[in-house]
Amino acid sequence: MPGTSSGADTKAEDDLMASKDNCSGTWARKAGAIVVIVGAVAATSFAVVGGDQGQRDRRSAQTQQEYTIENFFTRDLTYAATANETNDKRWERIQSQIGKRAPEFRVGEWKSGDKDLKGGSIESMRGEIVVINFWGTWCPPCRAAMPRNTEIARKYLSQKVRLVGVCNTRGSETMMETAERHGGLFATAADSDDATRTAYGVQWWPYYIIVDREGIVRAAGLRPNKLEEAIDRILAIQPYVPEDETTAVGAASSG
């Protein structure tokens, strides 16, 4: 009769259906396994990426902690050290400069009495620690500090620390004559209409500012006799690592 099957046919159909069920189950299990594997790989990748980012964040937080006023740049390094209302305001102005990106220079041609001591733009000096000496030709303390500034510029040159002078606009026509007469052989340039002085918030003369290797202001208003101490403090946080050593470390890590 139409629509009916013999016993043999029924068994054959049952075997076929069982085979299909087994096949479907196998593929389902395989698909499930693939999903699990992909999920595990994704989770591992996310954990690795997240771990790297976490390490970077922790390093960044640690660096910021090392650069706090309490740990790195302290008031006693500056001329705002005495406790009176006027100097409190000066200290507040100094603190407002710290942690900000260093403004670009607006100066004339860089000149130097030492061919190894050169100037440049803040951006071109990224990767170096930059010590900026704001001075004036008419300023006796500025002239008196010049020989020592030249010594400091030479002393730290091999550690990628660069000392440059920005001469006040007033009296800048005698800039190199004054510098050479008083032993100021470091690179110096004349400020353009006091634009650089204003951008850096200079409060007295000479006025020293330190910019770190990432172009961030880390110290300002330093006393001349505290300059090396401040440089040494920042070098402890950002030491100079020669490129060949960096390459060797990278190769060893990849191997």
Query: Given phi > 0 = left and psi -120 to 50 = alpha, else beta, which region is 127?
Result: left
Q: Are 165 and 191 in contact (CB under 8 A)?
A: no
Per-residue pLDDT reduced to its tens digit, 211-243: 999 999 999 999 999 999 999 999 999 999 998
Query: What token pair was written down for 71?
Result: 């740990």
Confidence of residue 47 (pLDDT cuts 50, 70, 90): very low
Confidence of residue 37 (pLDDT cuts 50, 70, 90): very low
Report which listed range, 3-7, 9-13, 128-132, is most confident.
128-132
Q: Which of 109, 223, 220 is nearest to 172 (CA)?
A: 109
Confidence of residue 153 (pLDDT cuts 50, 70, 90): very high
Of all helices (H) and strands (E), which one includes residue 60? helix 7-66
Global pTM reads: 0.72
Q: Are 72 and 234 in contact (CB under 8 A)?
A: yes
Query: Which tops the pLDDT comparison, 251 or 79?
Result: 79
149 has a pLDDT exceeding 50: yes
